[in-house]
Amino acid sequence: MVFGEGRSLSTLMIVGEGPGADEDAQGRPFVGRAGRLLDEVLSATDIDRDDVWVTNIVRCRPVAKRDNNLRNRAPRADEIKACGIWMDQEYRFVSPQLVLCLGVTPAQALISRQFKISEGRGKWHAGRNDVPTTATYHPAYIFRLGVDDRKSVESQMREDLQMVADRLGTIKHAA
């Protein structure tokens, strides 16, 4: 199982889909290729990963077997429900003031079942426990795009992270 990690009582909690192969091997969230892109976008917007809590909506790597290889897949509703107990504990333990979902799966679990990244990204929504919550593209989605689409989606992701950084700044100033 891969649990969340970071600073307890973090202002920002970042929630991904589920561990991939690298995360499964190392027992830590977002340490593979998707994690490196996340780190890059975080540092471009001056968000220090050590200051945030990084976790996933499910704790075990969701896999599908194809041609004798294990491939990542989106977590199913029953898996998300089964892991709900961990998510609830994290909300209690971290007490985030802002939540950023990476990809539609955590956004549908924490904001609304009908959530669509194309319509809801770049805006704040009332998430679980009424915590202001937003969503952007999942970094792994970006790797599946062609060069031109990738540039445009990556720059939208940076804009979304900048919006989070700006709000984080106001909370830190107020604190």
The count of other CB atoms within 10 Å of the CB of residue 175 is 7
Q: Is 115 in the site for ligand URA (CB under 6 A)?
A: no
Among 30-38, 89-97, 151-159, 165-173, which window interacts with ligand URA (CB under 6 A)? Answer: 30-38
CA angle 27, 99, 19 (to 5 degrees): 20
Number of residues that bind ligand URA (CB under 6 A): 13
Q: Is 62 in the site for ligand URA (CB under 6 A)?
A: no
Nearest distance, CB of residue 175 and ligand URA, angstroms: 28
Give, for 126, the enclosing helix (H) or strand (E). Answer: strand 125-126
C-alpha closest to that of 29 among 87, 108, 98, 93 = 87
C-alpha closest to that of 130 among 99, 175, 108 = 99
Q: Which is nearer to ligand URA, 60 or 171 (CB)?
A: 60
Q: Is 75 in the site for ligand URA (CB under 6 A)?
A: no
Q: How far apart are CA 131 and CA 95, in angstroms?
A: 9
Single residue of 12, 117, 140, 142 touching ligand URA by CB under 6 A:
140
Q: Is 30 in the site for ligand URA (CB under 6 A)?
A: yes
3-class SS of residue 148: helix
Single residue of 16, 62, 75, 120 touching ligand URA by CB under 6 A:
16
**How do strand 53-56 and strand 125-126 relate by DSSP bridges?**
unpaired
Nearest distance, CB of residue 85 and ligand URA, angstroms: 19
Q: What is the binding site for ligand URA (CB under 6 A)?
A: 16-20, 23, 29-30, 32, 34-35, 56, 140
